[in-house]
Copies of this chain bind each other. A is one copy, B any other.
Amino acid sequence: MTRAVVLLSGGLDSATVLADARASGYECYALTVDYGQRHDAEIDAAKRLAESIGALEHRIVRIDYCHFGGSALTDSSIDVPTEPANGIPVTYVPARNTVMLSIALGWAEVVEATAIFIGVNAVDYSGYPDCRPAFIAAFEQLARVATKASVEGAQMTIRAPLIELSKAEIIARGLELGVDYAATVSCYQADPHGRACGRCDACRLRREGFAAAAVADPTRYC
C-alpha cells in the first residue's frame, strides 16, 4: 500500500486531511509537531484523532521553536487577536509550515512514503504566506532534490487537498468521511480541557464554517 505522512495538528482541517488521505487509500503516518503552542489540548486531540481515523502510527516531534518569538502563538507577551487583521496577522508563526513539512520529509524518507499531506487552506488562510499554492509547489520542488530517495529516482508529492476549499466545503467533506469534529480543537487559546475561546480568528472561521455548511457546531466552548 502507498504510504503518506500526514501533518496532524488536532484541528478541524488536519483531521479532515487525515480522513481524506485514508479514503484515498494511503497507509498514514500521522505527525504532530509541537513547536511550543500555548496549550497541550491540541496535541491530546491529535492523539485521539490519529487513532479514531486510523493512522498506522502517530509521532509527536517536539522542537523548542517558541523562544524565537515573533508570533502570538509562541510568545505569551503578544495577545491573540479577537478581530480580523489587515494583512498578515500576529498569529503567523515564522516559517512554521516550512519547518513542519521538513520534519515530515525526514520521516517520509525513513518510512518510504511517497506523499506528504498538509491541511493548508488558501481561502480562509488568514493571510499566511505559507498556506499559498506557490509555497506548496516550491516545497515539492525542494523535496524532489533534498532526499536520498530523490537521488534514487523517487518523486515526492506534497498534497494539500483543502487548499482551494472554503471552511464550509471542508466541513462538508469531513462529515462525508465521518470525521467527528467534536474531537478537534481549532482555537488558538483553548483551555487545558480543549474548550475553545469562541473569540479568536480560528474560532471565528470555524464557527462561520459550520453556519455556512448549515450543520450544528459541535465545538465545546469555555
Contacts and interface: CB of A to CB of B under 8 A. Distances in A.
A214 to B, nearest CB: 34
B103 A63 contact: yes
A65 B61 contact: yes
A105 B88 CA distance: 17
Given A68-B106, A98-B105, A129-B150, 7 more contacts: A62-B62, A62-B64, A65-B106, A93-B106, A95-B106, A95-B109, A101-B102
Contact of A146 (B110, B138, B146, B148): B138
A23 interface: no
Interface of A: 59, 61-65, 67-70, 88, 92-99, 101-103, 105-107, 109-110, 129-130, 132, 134-135, 138-139, 141-142, 144-148, 150-151
Given A103-B99, A141-B138, A61 B59 contact: no
A61 B100 CA distance: 15
A32 B135 CA distance: 26
A98 B150 CA distance: 13
Given A63-B62, A69-B110, A106-B65, A95 B146 contact: yes
Q: Which 9 A-B pairs have the closest CB atoms?
A: A95-B106, A94-B109, A70-B110, A63-B63, A94-B106, A95-B105, A138-B142, A102-B102, A98-B102
A102 B110 CA distance: 19
A80 B61 CA distance: 24
